[in-house]
Structure 1
Amino acid sequence: MPDLASIVKAYDIRGTVPDQFDAAAAAALGTGFADLVRAEGATKIAVAHDMRDTGPELARAFAEAATRAGLDVVLAGLCSTDELYYVSGILDIPGAMFTASHNPARYNGIKTCLAGARPISLDTGLAAMRDRAQAILDQREEPTTADVPGTITERDFLTDYAAHLRTLVDLSGIRPLTVAVDAGNGMGGHTVPTVFEGLPVTVVPMYFELDGTFPNHEANPLEPANLVDLQKKVVEAGADIGLAFDGDADRCFVIDENGDPVSPSAITALVATRELARDPGATIIYNLITSRAVPEIVAENGGTAVRSRVGHSFIKAEMARTNAIFGGEHSAHYYFRDFWFADTGMLAAMHTLAALGQSDRPLSELARAYERYVASGEINSTVTDAAAKQDQVAAHFATEELDRLDGLTVTFADGAWLNLRASNTEPLLRLNVEAPTPERMEGLRDEVLAIVRG
């Protein structure tokens, strides 16, 4: 019997199929989700899945359980995660997206949201959904059975989703661009052709065949090894830009014309600048391991930069609290007020294409204006007591500016900073360092690692 406590995470569900997550578990979770959203007045939900082989069966089991509980279900079929958010937003109904994002083929999971693509976390419903489903699986409780069951309606939203995105970013007047796109055999291969159709963009496709076994490389562009093929293709094809999507296509990484990665912090600053031009004085959210160039550039463009903890539940909460127009994370999640405060890699990619296409400069030069500091990238260390190591580092830098918003952040007078955060799931400390020069970054990095790994 599946133990749902092992697969229900802080803000999504993810486990291996079928030992941790099977059709019975999906059905039980469908009941739990139905009970949760019916209590908020919902009568209809949307359900979709990515290209993983197990997606259709799991999504159908979830949907049928929800109809037995009395809800109508819009079964949206193949979707990227941000397409499911579009469906939830445009129909103003809760949604469930079956995906394990960039995880290996044996995984599947669910990302859920309330009406209007509002996020659900453990504290706001996932725990209750998990506990109800576990009681059903353990046969301690019966599934909810309505007097009048709901119905399932199948509908494809891809064309409508693409049209909506194109109302938010106008690409019609840009100079012609050649764009290499690595979909990683994930949902970008499904969405990119429709979104870019008819635009002055020539797409050089890579791994567009939908294949949840990921035969070419993991669909996780956060790992540098998974960008190598795209970097080569950009140079070989003479492309103006490269785009790499993760498995469910809610994240997008950018490669310049020389085959070099453009940091997500630079993309955050670039998109923030464009959004502030449209809405002067607006608020921009950035997480605390994003480059300090982001709040500097936001301030220079008349905006208000608000610092957040790492993680999409925190970003989305700050977006809603401040009515921010845009938010960005180092992990290449980008959030838009005009997209129900939800994250969409495709919309960030379109903003980048618009900026490039409206400029006569190559992307490497365009991006340089947004990259002011040298970053270490995230460095993991295995530790037995993360809190004790953080305290040691804090004591070492006791005369500097310290804060504990998310782990330990130390800020230095010369503009350098470091952050140490404990993993929620593993005995790891994650170190990020940024400084004005490579030498300063490397020296600070090594100084901290000597303490952490001492």
Structure 2
Amino acid sequence: MSQTASPAAEIFKAYDIRGIVDKSLTTETVRGIGQALGTEALKRGQKTIVVGYDGRLSGPRFAEALAAGITSTGIDVIDIGCVATPITYFAAYHLGANSCVSITGSHNPPDYNGMKMVLGGQTLYGAMIQDLRRRIIENDFASGSGSVSKIDVRPAYIERILSDVKLARPMKIVLDSGNGVAGNTAPELFRKLGCELSELFSEVDGNFPNHHPDPSKPENLEDVIHALKNGDAELGLAFDGDGDRLGVVTKDGEIIYPDRQIMLFAADVLSRVPGGQIIYDVKCTRNLAPWIRKHGGVPVMWNTGHALVKAKLKETGAPLAGEMSGHMFFKERWYGFDDGLYTGVRLLEILSRSPDANAILKALPDAVSTPELNIKMNEGEPVQLVEKLKAAKFDGEVERITIDGLRIEYADGFGLARSSNTTPVVVLRFEADNAAALERIQADFRRTIGAAWPGIELPF
């Protein structure tokens, strides 16, 4: 059996394809994925697929292999080159293709790469991704001859944003692209928006020589915090490796986590879309729901996962959705896909209306919370543990939410345990009104998890 005939099962994840370059993800495998995608695109009545890639070193050759696979089925490819993942999504709309693939390793280590895929406006996830693997194994491919054309859509992307978003005053910001692909577009976009920039690591380099491009981890924001402390910028923005997530830091070095960012965006969007639904995932703060109601919206808690949130956005027609991981989805005035650059622009639009951006951000309701904690387990065990917890009793439980794992609401906080869709871990998160309440809630979870799975090692 050739490599194309039996691709590694572990690269076909819940929301995307991801593997180690030239080990689990080879050029032959990428070509096979292209054949499978092209065949599926034909079945869905599609004619063209846009292909873009991030700053990973393997991006150009994987793009070539993917295009070869896609065109061998009779589907045309528009190659838009090295761009942020959201620009690939934008191109699918702008060029009328409705289908696209972003070749990206996102925030994974340098030796990873992968693909985020949209066909006919639908983000592929779950069974749809597994079906691509089936096609490759069964050699179930259409045959034809499509063409490849090249277009640079970055000017159109920047123009589309600037035609709609205006700052009330110029702003001076620190912009950290982390040597990720956002570095080839974000500085130009923010300058044209009217910002004075203190740039960090804008040079696209797939080795990520300065820090890992994942703004959800506080250690990766240390350079931004340092630059804010030693310069005269009023705000810091940091992007992840493929530009679809944003990190935000105040002048005095406080990280504004995405669930608090959602509050700011919700208040703004609801001022124009009264009664709108605002979607957020189960990891977000309990301060969100009352805030959304206070501003005239309907809070909708939903599953974690960008593909699942996009599907819910489509189903509900909500104007805004956001995830604790940093994916923000604006449907109001934008297309509903996750875009770190556009999120940064919308943030500055709101903050520029005030003379003190710091004060606006720091006034958002806050709570004592933990970052995301992970219990590492063997494949299949996380689901078993979460099921056992669902059958258990918790002290002081006010409400339990089971849409994605188990979230126990207490009078003064919450605890969450959910099985990750991408790695064999149980994801935990805790929040409370004060440190004592947080300790009590964690102790309750410690006791319950220990009883459900004796001898387990806990990260808290």
Q: Tell me if both proteins adopt one fold, taking TM over 0.5 as the criterion.
A: yes
In the alignment, the residues of structure 1 paired with residue 72 and residue 262 of structure 2 have an alpha-carbon distance, to the nearest angstrom, of: 43
Residues 217-260 of structure 1, C-alpha deviations (whole Å, 9 max, x = no match) = 11111122111111111111121110110000100010000111
Tell me the secondary structure at the aligned position of residue 66 of structure 1. Answer: helix
Q: 1:303 to 1:425 in 2, by over 3 A?
A: closer
CA contact (8 A) 1:273 1:301 kept: yes
- Partner residue in 2 for 1:34: 38
Instruction: State yes or no: 1:290 paired with 2:287.
Output: no
**How far, CA to CA, are the matches of 2:15 and 2:294 in structure 1?**
34
- Cα distance in 1, alignment partners of residues 163 and 436 from structure 2: 45
Give 1:103's aligned residue.
Answer: 108
Question: 2:47 & 2:422 partners in 1: Cα distance?
Answer: 35
* Separation in structure 2 between the aligned mates of residue 292 and residue 183 of structure 1, nearest angstrom: 31
Q: Quick check: 1:88–1:115 contact (8 Å CA) kept in 2?
A: no
1:181–1:203 contact (8 Å) kept in structure 2: yes
Aligned mates of 1:399, 1:201 — CA distance in 2:
48
Query: Which segments of 5 or more consecutive residues in structure 1 lack a partner in the other structure?
Result: none
5+ residue gaps, structure 2, are 456-460
Q: Give distance in 2, aligned partners of 1:423 and 1:198.
A: 39
**Aligned partner of 1:396 among 394, 416, 420:** 394
What's the secondary structure of 1:101's corresponding residue? coil
Preserved contact between residue 36 and residue 128 of structure 1 (Cα < 8 Å): no
* Equivalent of residue 129 in structure 1, options 123, 128, 132: 132
Query: Deviation digits for residues 270-327 of structure 1, max 9, x if unmatched?
Result: 0111111122221111112111222211111111111101111221121111100000
Matched-pair contact (CA < 8 Å) for 1:28–1:134: no
In the other structure, the counterpart of 1:381 is: 375
Equivalent residue for 2:441?
444
Which residue is equivalent to 2:303? 309
Contact 2:15 2:305 in 1 (8 A): no
1:179-222 deviation digits (Å, cap 9, x = unpaired) = 10111100121111221233321111111111001111111111
SS of the residue corresponding to residue 163 of structure 2 reads: helix
Inter-partner Cα distance in structure 1 for 2:446 and 2:426: 10
- When residues 64 and 228 of structure 1 are mapped into structure 2, their CA distance, relative to the original with a 3 A threshold, is same
Tell me the secondary structure at the aligned position of residue 262 of structure 1.
coil
One-letter code aligned to 1:437 = N
Between 1:395-404 and 1:271-280, the stretch displaced more is 395-404
1:294 and 1:399 mapped to 2: Cα distance? Answer: 20
Aligned equivalents of 1:297, 1:264: Cα separation in 2: 15
Q: Deviation of residue 51 (structure 1)?
A: 1.1
Aligned pairs for 1:339-350 within 5 A: 339-350=334-345
Show CA shifts across 1:159-182 (max 9, x none). Answer: 1111112234222xx222111011
For residues 20 and 85 of structure 1, what CA distance do their matches in structure 2 show? 26
TM-score, structure 2 as length reference: 0.91
Give yes or no for contact 2:169–2:353 (8 Å, CA) kept in 1. Answer: yes
Q: Tell which deviates more after alignment, 201-210 or 126-135.
A: 126-135
Distance in 1, matches of 2:92 and 2:357, equals 37
Paired with 2:22 and 2:376, the residues of 1 have a C-alpha distance of 30
Structure 1 residues 444 and 52, CA, compared in 2 at 3 Å: closer, same or farther?
same
CA contact (8 A) 1:15 1:109 kept: yes
The superposition leaves residues 315-374 of structure 1 with CA deviations (integer Å, 9 ceiling, x where unpaired) of 1121111100000111110001143321111121112111211102232x2123322322
* 1:389/1:451 contact within 8 Å kept: no
Residue in structure 2 matched with residue 62 of structure 1 by the alignment: 66
Shifted more, 322-331 versus 397-406: the winner is 397-406
Distance 1:427 1:275 in 2: 37
Identity of matched residues, %:
30
What letter corresponds to residue 409 of structure 2 in structure 1? Answer: T
> Does structure 1 residue 213 correspond to structure 2 residue 218?
no
Alignment of 1:25-424 (within 5 A): 25-93=29-97, 94-116=99-121, 118-123=122-127, 125-136=128-139, 143-146=141-144, 149-171=145-167, 174-337=168-331, 338-363=333-358, 365-383=359-377, 385-386=381-382, 387-388=384-385, 391-392=388-389, 394-397=392-395, 400-414=398-412, 416-424=413-421
Distance 1:399 1:61 in 2: 53
| Normalised TM-score (structure 1) | 0.92
CA contact (8 A) 1:250 1:343 kept: yes
Q: Deviations over 1:406-440 (max 9, x none)?
A: 111111233x1111112335443221111112321
Match for residue 22 of structure 1 among 12, 21, 26:
26
Which residue pairs with 1:432 in the alignment?
429
The one-letter code sitting in structure 1 at the alignment partner of 2:400 is L
User: Structure 2 vs 1, CA of residues 38 and 431 (structure 1 numbering), >3 Å: closer, same or farther?
Assistant: same
